[in-house]
Structure 1
Amino acid sequence: MEGIENYSLEVKLSADKLEAEIVLKVDEEDLDNIVLREEDVYSALQTNQVKVGILDDVVRDLCAFPRKFANARITIARGVAPVDGTDAFIEYPYLANVSNEGGPKELEDGRVDYYNITSIPNVAKGQLLARKIPATPGTPGTAVTGEPIAPKAGKEIHIKPGKNVVHNQERTLVYAAIDGQVSFTEQDKLNVFPVYDVNGDVDFGVGNIDFVGTVVIRGNVLNGFRVKASGDIRVLGSVEGAELYAGGSIEIKSGIVAQDKGMIVAGHDIRTSFIQNANVSAGNEVIVSQSIMFSNVRAGKQIICNGPKGIIIGGVLQAGEKIAARVFGNNRATPTILEVGVKPELRQELANIQKDLQNVYENLRKTDQGLGVINQILHTGKELTPEKRLMQIKLTNTRLVLEKECKQLEARKKDLENELKGETPAAVEAYHVMYPGIKMTFGKLVHFVKHEYARTRFIVLDGEISTATLI
Structure 2
Amino acid sequence: EDEIKEFTRMMTALTIDTRSIKDINIAERNQLLLSIGEIIPGHNGRRIDGKILKKRDISHSGIGINLGPNTYASDSGKEVYAKRAGHIVWKPEENLLDIEPVYIVEGNVDFSEGNIQGFVGKVIVKGDVKPKFKVVAHGDVEIQGTVEDALIRSTNGNVVILGSVVNKSDGLIQASKTAHVCIATNANIKGQRIVIGSPGVVIGGVLQAKNLIQANSIGSESGVATKIHVGDVKALRERLRALGQKASADSALLKELTEVIKLLEFKETSNTLDSDQANLLSKARTDAPELKGLLEATHEEEIEIKREIASRRPARLEVMDTLHPQVDVWLFEACVTTQAAEKFTGFRCKDGIMQRYSL
Shorter-chain TM-score: what band? 0.5 to 0.7
2:333 alignment partner AA: K
Task: Compute the displacement of 1:271 (Å).
Answer: 1.4
Q: Answer 1 or 2: higher relative contact order, Cα 8 Å, separation at least 6.
A: 2
The answer as to whether partners of 1:292 and 1:305 remain within 8 angstroms in 2 is no
The answer as to whether partners of 2:181 and 2:200 remain within 8 angstroms in 1 is no
Give the fraction of aligned pairs with identical amino acids, expressed as a percent: 15
Q: How many Å separate the matches in 1 of 2:226 and 2:121?
A: 33
Task: Compute the displacement of 1:234 (Å).
Answer: 0.9
The answer on 1:407 being equivalent to 2:299 is yes
Q: Which residue of 2 aligns with 1:84?
A: none
Q: What pairs up with 1:269-308 in 2 under 5 angstroms? A: 269-272=158-161, 273-275=163-165, 276=167, 277-295=170-188, 297-300=189-192, 302-308=193-199
The answer on 1:340 being equivalent to 2:340 is no
Q: What pairs up with 1:24-43 in 2 under 5 angstroms? A: none
User: TM-score, length-normalised on structure 2?
Assistant: 0.58
- 1:313 is paired with a residue whose SS is strand
Task: Compute the displacement of 1:435 (Å).
Answer: 1.7
Q: Give the paired residue count.
A: 263
Task: Compute the displacement of 1:232 (Å).
Answer: 1.0
2:187 alignment partner AA: F
Q: 1:407 to 1:427 in 2, by over 3 A?
A: closer
- Match for residue 397 of structure 1 among 289, 292, 303: 289
Structure 2: which 5+ runs fail to align? Answer: 1-27, 31-67, 72-83, 91-98
- Match for residue 430 of structure 1 among 298, 316, 319: 319
2:183 alignment partner AA: Q
User: TM-score, length-normalised on structure 1?
Assistant: 0.46
2:103 alignment partner AA: V
- 1:386 is paired with a residue whose SS is helix
Q: 1:402 to 1:305 in 2, by over 3 A?
A: closer
The answer as to whether partners of 1:226 and 1:244 remain within 8 angstroms in 2 is yes
Q: Which residue of 2 aligns with 1:311?
A: 202
RMSD: 4.2
Q: 1:397 to 1:287 in 2, by over 3 A?
A: closer
Structure 1: which 5+ runs fail to align? Answer: 1-161, 165-176, 181-190, 198-210
Q: What pairs up with 1:99-248 in 2 under 5 angstroms? A: 178=69, 213-222=101-110, 225-239=115-129, 240-248=131-139
Which has the larger Rg?
1
- 1:396 is paired with a residue whose SS is helix
Task: Compute the displacement of 1:217 (Å).
Answer: 0.8
- 1:254 is paired with a residue whose SS is coil
1:408 alignment partner AA: E
1:245 alignment partner AA: V
The answer as to whether partners of 1:254 and 1:274 remain within 8 angstroms in 2 is yes
Task: Compute the displacement of 1:281 (Å).
Answer: 1.7
Q: 1:396 to 1:179 in 2, by over 3 A?
A: closer
Q: 1:266 to 1:254 in 2, by over 3 A?
A: farther
Q: How many Å separate the matches in 2 of 1:271 and 1:331?
A: 27
Task: Compute the displacement of 1:314 (Å).
Answer: 1.9
1:307 alignment partner AA: S
- Match for residue 142 of structure 2 among 251, 260, 268: 251
Q: How many Å separate the matches in 2 of 1:268 and 1:286?
A: 9
1:404 alignment partner AA: E
Q: What pairs up with 1:319-334 in 2 under 5 angstroms? A: 319-320=210-211, 322-334=212-224
Task: Compute the displacement of 1:460 (Å).
Answer: 4.4
Could you give the per-residue CA deviations for residues 247-278 of structure 1, whole angstroms, max 9, x where no partner exists? 321111222112xx645225222111122342
Q: 1:359 to 1:418 in 2, by over 3 A?
A: same
- Match for residue 341 of structure 2 among 452, 456, 462: 452
1:327 alignment partner AA: S
- 1:219 is paired with a residue whose SS is coil
Q: 1:281 to 1:364 in 2, by over 3 A?
A: same
